[in-house]
Structure 1
Amino acid sequence: MKLMNQPFTGQLGNRLIELLDSPEYHTLNIVVAFAKNSGVLRIKNSLERFRERGGKVNVYVGVDLCGTSYEALTALLINTNSLHVVHSERSQTFHAKIYQFLGNNQGLIVVGSHNLTGGGLWTNFESSVHIPIDGSNENEGEILSGLDTYIGELTSLNDSFMPITSQDDIETLLQNGYIFKEVAEQVRLATSAKKTDAQVRLFGNGVPAPLPRITIPQVEDKAAVIVAPPQPVSIPQGDESQTIWFETRKMTGGSRNILDLSKRSLIERGDPSGTPFNLGNTKFMRGGVEFFGLDPVATDQHKDITLNFEGVDYLANTILYPEGNNPNGTWRLQIKGISTSGRKITDAFRAKGEAEYLVWKIITFTKIQGDYFFMTVFAASELENFKAASRILARNGSTTSARQLGLL
C-alpha cells in the first residue's frame, strides 16, 4: 500500500498510463466526480491501446457543480466500453474518486482526491492511497467486495443513474443544462466574475507540475513543417487551457473550411504586454497565427496541427501563408484534417445538417499542446458574450472592419 502526494511523490495521470499499458490488467473501472478534456484527452491514446488488447473500461461520473464537460463525455463515449452519469436532483454531490484495475492474478485500487481532469491527474495538489490486490493481504477480499457493492449500489439508483449509450444522451444533458461546453463555461465565469488588475496577490505559484506530451500519429513529411519539441508541456492556466476565438463570417475555400489568421491584429481592448502577442505597440499586436506557434512574419514556414472535434482527432490541418498569383496577404488555417479511421473533418461538419457549417459562426481553439487543439463551434449570436469575456479583444487584421478575435 502506498500514499501518493501529487505532485511531490508522483502524478496519478502518469501512473494510469503505465497501468493501462501493462498486460497484467483486463478491466479499468473509473468512478469520479468530474471529467474534463484536459484529463481525458491525455489518457485517450492509452485507453484506446488498452481496449485494442481486449481490455474493458467502465466509467461512472458525476455532473455536479459544472465539473464535467460535454467534450469530456463525448470523448469518453468513444473511448470506453460503458459510460454512466450519476446525479441527484437534491443537494447531494456525487464526489467519489476511485480507479480500479483488475487482472487475472492481481489488481490495484486507487482511492483519493483525483478527478479525471488535467489538474486532478497531473497539476493539482492531490493525495491518494494505492492498494495492491495480489493475495498477500487478508483484507483484500473485503476491500474488493466493498467496492463491488458500491458500484452495484450506484447502478441501482434508478432515476439518479443514467447510462450514456449514444451521443444523443450527451446532447440531452447539454440541452437541459446538466453539462456545458468547456469554452462556454469559461465565457460564463469570465463575464460574471472578472478579476481586476489591482487585486493583491497574497500567494506564490505553487510547485512546477508538467503535463505530459500527447503523441500524435505521423503524417507525410513536408518541407519546413515546424514540429513541437518532444517534451512535457506546461499550460500556465491549470485546468483551463489557453483559448482563442475567431468570428468566421463567410469563410473561404470550396467547403468554406479555410480560416484566415492575421499577421497582426488591431487591439480593441486589453494589453498584450507579457504575452507572445506583444508587439511593443499600444494599437497592434501579433496576429492570430501566433496562437498556433508560428511567427507571423516567417511566411516561408507552415505547420500541421491536430484538431480534436467532438472527441475525434483530425490530423494534418495545415497552417500556411499562401503564395501564387492571388494570395490575400494573410495566413490561413485549412480545416481539412482526416481521422485515423479515414473520416474527413468536413464530413463531420456536413453531418451537422448544415451545408456550410462553419459560416457565420464563432470557432474556438483550446491549446492542449503546441500541435494539438480542441475545436468548438458556437452560433454567431454568442458574439457579444465572447467579446465581454475576453481579456484581449482584437480584430483579425489591421482595420476596424476585420473580423473579431479574442483571448479568453
Structure 2
Amino acid sequence: MELMNQPFSGQLGNRLIELLNSPDYHTLNIVVAFAKNSGVLRIKDALENFRGRGGIVNVYVGVDLGGTSYEALTALLLHADSLNVIHSENDQTFHSKIYQFIGDNAGLIVVGSNNITAGGLWTNFESSVLAPVENSSAEIGPILKEVDNYIESLSSLEDSLMQMGSQDDIDKLLESGYVFKEVAQQIRLAKAAAQDGSRQRLFGNGAPAHLPYVETQKKAKVVTSVSEAPESFDFAFLKDEGNTIWFETKSMTGGSRNILDLSKKSLVELGDPKGTPFDLGDQKFMRGGVEFFGLDPAATDQKKNITLNFEGVDYFGNEILYPDGANANGTWRLQIKGASSSERKITEAFRAKGEGFLLVKKVIAFTKINDDYYSLSVFPESELENFKVASYILAWNGSTRTARQLGLIFQKIDNP
C-alpha cells in the first residue's frame, strides 16, 4: 500500500498512464467529481491503448461547481466504453475520486483527492492511497467489495445518473447550463479577476510540478523561435499550457473559409506586452498572433504544422506559413485544414455542425496544450465583448484599427 503526496512523491497522472500500459488489468472504473480537457487529453492515448488491447473503461463523473467541462465530456465519450454523469438537484455535491483497476489475478484501487484535470493529476497538492489487490488477500478483499458496491449504488441512482450515449446528450447538458465550454469559464474567471483588481501577493509559488508533453500522431518537426524576456517578469500566462488566444474572424478566407490571418505585428488596444515574448520595444505595437504558436513573426521563411483538437478529435497537419508569390498578402496564415487519424477533414466536422461556414463571423479561441497541440473552440460573434473584457492584452490583428481583434487570456492550470 502506498500513500502518494503529489507532487512531492510522484504525480498520479504518470502513475495512471503506467497502470494503463500494464498487461495486468482488463478494466478501469473511474469515479471523479471533475474532469477537464487538460487532464483527459493527457491520458487519452493511454486509455485508447488500454482499450485497444481489449480493456474496458467506465467513467462516472460529476458536473457540480463548474468543475467538469463540455470538452472533457466530449473527449471521454470518445475514449471510454461508458460515460455516466451524476448530479443531484438538491445541492448535494458529487465529490468522490476513485480509480479501480481490475485484472484476472490482481487489481489496484486509488482513493484520494485527484480529479481528471491537469491540476488534479499533475500540478496540485493532492494525496491518494494506492492499494494493491490480490485475490488471496483477505484484508483487501472487503475494500474491493466496498468499491464494487459503491459503483453499483451509483449505477442505481436512476434520475440522478445520466448515461451519455451520444454527443447529443452532452450537447443537451451544455444547452441546459449543467456544463460549460472551457474558454467560457476562462472568460468568466478572468472578468471576475479584473473586477476584483490587483491583490498583494502574500505567498510563494509552491512546489515545482511539471505537466507531461503530449505526443501527437503524424507529428511534424516543430520550428520555434521565441524571444526571451527578462527573468524578473512573470509571464507564465503567455508560455504555459492552458492559456488562450482568441481571434475575431469576420469573413475569413479560403474556399472553405478556413484560413486565419495571424499578422506580423499587432496594434495594442489595452494592456502592456512589455517584458513578454510579444514585446516589440514599442508600447503601441506587439508581435503578431503567430507568436502564440511558437513562431518568430519576423522569420517568414519558417513553417509549422500544429494539431488541433476540436470536439474531442485530433486533426493533424494544420499549417502555419507566411505565403509568398501570388498568394502573398503580407501576413502569416493558419490554414485550418487538418485531418483526423481516420482521414476525416476538420472542414467536414465544421460543415457537420449545420452552419455552412462555421468559422465565419465568430470568435475562435486556441488553448495551448503543447507547443504544437491546441484545443480549438468556436463562439458566436455576440460573445466578442465578453472576450474583450476578459483579455489581459487586447490588440488588433494588424497595424490598424480596421483589422480584426485578438486577445490573450491568462489562465492558471485548472485546479479542481
Alpha-carbon offset, residue 236 of structure 1: 4.1
Alignment deviations for residues 253-305 of structure 1 (CA, whole Å, 9 cap, x no partner) = 11100000010000000011232111121100010000000000000000000
Q: Distance in 2 between matches of 1:196 and 1:75?
A: 34
- The letter for the 2-side match of 1:183 is V
TM-score normalised by length of structure 1: 0.95
Q: Distance in 2 between matches of 1:193 and 1:288?
A: 24
What SS does structure 1 have at the residue aligned with 2:329? coil
Whether contact under 8 Å (2:224, 2:296) holds in the other structure is: no
- The letter for the 1-side match of 2:119 is G
Match of 1:7 in 2: 7
Match of 1:258 in 2: 259
Q: Distance in 2 between matches of 1:298 and 1:200?
A: 39
Alpha-carbon offset, residue 314 of structure 1: 0.1
Q: Distance in 2 between matches of 1:193 and 1:240?
A: 20
What SS does structure 1 have at the residue aligned with 2:320? strand
Match of 1:79 in 2: 79
Match of 1:308 in 2: 309
TM-score normalised by length of structure 2: 0.93
Q: Distance in 2 between matches of 1:326 and 1:38?
A: 37
- The letter for the 1-side match of 2:294 is G
Q: Distance in 2 between matches of 1:195 and 1:213?
A: 34
Alignment deviations for residues 370-394 of structure 1 (CA, whole Å, 9 cap, x no partner) = 0000000000011011111111100
Q: Distance in 2 between matches of 1:52 and 1:175?
A: 33
What SS does structure 2 have at the residue aligned with 1:121? helix
Q: Aligned ranges for residues 377-396 of structure 1 at < 5 Å?
A: 377-396=378-397
What SS does structure 2 have at the residue aligned with 1:325? helix
CA gap of 1:86–1:135, structure 2 versus 1, over 3 A, is same
Alignment deviations for residues 95-114 of structure 1 (CA, whole Å, 9 cap, x no partner) = 00000100001100000000
| 1:361 counterpart = 2:365 | no
Alpha-carbon offset, residue 41 of structure 1: 0.2
Match of 1:324 in 2: 325
Moved more, 339-348 or 240-249: 240-249
Match of 1:242 in 2: 243
CA gap of 1:322–1:239, structure 2 versus 1, over 3 A, is closer
Whether contact under 8 Å (1:84, 1:163) holds in the other structure is: yes
Whether contact under 8 Å (1:87, 1:94) holds in the other structure is: yes
Whether contact under 8 Å (2:25, 2:104) holds in the other structure is: yes
Match of 1:159 in 2: 159
Unaligned runs of 5+ in 2: 226-234, 410-416
CA gap of 1:371–1:240, structure 2 versus 1, over 3 A, is closer
Alignment deviations for residues 139-167 of structure 1 (CA, whole Å, 9 cap, x no partner) = 22211110111011111111111111100
Q: Distance in 1 between matches of 2:208 and 2:236?
A: 10
| 1:200 counterpart = 2:200 | yes
Match of 2:351 in 1: 350
- The letter for the 1-side match of 2:390 is A
Q: Distance in 2 between matches of 1:194 and 1:109?
A: 42
Whether contact under 8 Å (1:62, 1:86) holds in the other structure is: yes
- The letter for the 2-side match of 1:395 is W
Alpha-carbon offset, residue 332 of structure 1: 0.1
Alpha-carbon offset, residue 362 of structure 1: 0.5
Whether contact under 8 Å (1:122, 1:209) holds in the other structure is: yes
Sequence identity (%): 69
What SS does structure 2 have at the residue aligned with 1:15? helix
| CA-based RMSD | 1.7
- The letter for the 1-side match of 2:311 is E
Moved more, 136-145 or 189-198: 189-198
What SS does structure 2 have at the residue aligned with 1:267? strand
Q: Distance in 2 between matches of 1:196 and 1:262?
A: 33
Whether contact under 8 Å (1:118, 1:239) holds in the other structure is: no
Whether contact under 8 Å (2:241, 2:370) holds in the other structure is: no
Whether contact under 8 Å (1:287, 1:397) holds in the other structure is: yes
What SS does structure 1 have at the residue aligned with 2:199? coil
What SS does structure 2 have at the residue aligned with 1:194? helix
- The letter for the 1-side match of 2:223 is I
CA gap of 1:227–1:395, structure 2 versus 1, over 3 A, is closer
Alignment deviations for residues 338-358 of structure 1 (CA, whole Å, 9 cap, x no partner) = 001111000000101122111
Alpha-carbon offset, residue 240 of structure 1: 7.6
Alpha-carbon offset, residue 174 of structure 1: 0.3
Unaligned runs of 5+ in 1: 229-234
Q: Distance in 2 between matches of 1:40 and 1:345?
A: 21
Q: Distance in 2 between matches of 1:236 and 1:85?
A: 34
| 1:106 counterpart = 2:106 | yes
| 1:296 counterpart = 2:293 | no
Q: Distance in 2 between matches of 1:145 and 1:120?
A: 26
What SS does structure 1 have at the residue aligned with 2:75? helix
